[in-house]
Amino acid sequence: MASLLSSLFGNHNDISNLDSDSFERMMNEEKNFILIDVRTLEEHKSLRIPNSKLIDIYKPSFQDQIEKLNRSKPYFVYCRAGRRSHSACKQMKSMGFEKVYNLKGGIISWSGKTEKG
């Protein structure tokens, strides 16, 4: 019954919600990962984690852009506070991505390096 409910409503436990330190540590351990910022272009320009790829979750093309990604790679996803990235991670998991990590608390909780531009 539990698996039926989780398949219908989604299981929050299948998303790895990592705090800033764990997120950074996992990025250091994984090889060939991709870091995705799901915020808007304006947010991405004002402050971002270095080497992050912008895929705005609010854009109609979001699903198509995610669809083109290699499902075997690890993905680290963040937004401002963690809600949009959690939603993106759930969507990615439902599309067959296996290693998807959400930055719990978003970039506002991030203690690692950042850049502007």
Q: List the strands of the sheet with 34-37, edge to edge.
A: 16-18, 100-103, 75-78, 34-37, 53-54
- The whole-number average pLDDT for the span 32-48 is 98
Does a structural domain hold residue 3? Answer: no
Q: What is the dihedral of CA 58, 53, 50, 105, to 10 degrees?
A: 40
pLDDT of residue 13: 52
Average pLDDT over residues 54-78: 97
Q: Which residues contact 62 (CB under 8 A, 6 or more apart)?
A: 38, 55, 56, 88
Q: Of 50, 30, 58, whose CA–CA distance to 107 is shortest?
A: 50
- What's the whole-model pTM score? 0.88
Decide if 2 is inside a domain: no
Q: How far apart are CA 89 and CA 101, in angstroms?
A: 7
For residue 115 the two structure tokens come to 């850049």
User: Which domain range does residue 27 map to?
Assistant: 15-109
In-domain check, residue 105: yes
The number of domains in the chain is 1
User: What is the CATH number for 36?
Assistant: 3.40.250.10
Separation of alpha carbons 3 and 92, rounded Å: 19
- Give whole-number Cα distances, 94 to 20, 36, 98, 117, in Å: 24, 17, 9, 33
Residue 42 belongs to some domain of the structure: yes
Would residue 8 count as lying in a domain? no
Report pLDDT digits (tens) over 70-89. 999 999 999 999 999 999 99
Mean pLDDT of 26-46: 97
Q: Is residue 5 scored above 50 in pLDDT?
A: no
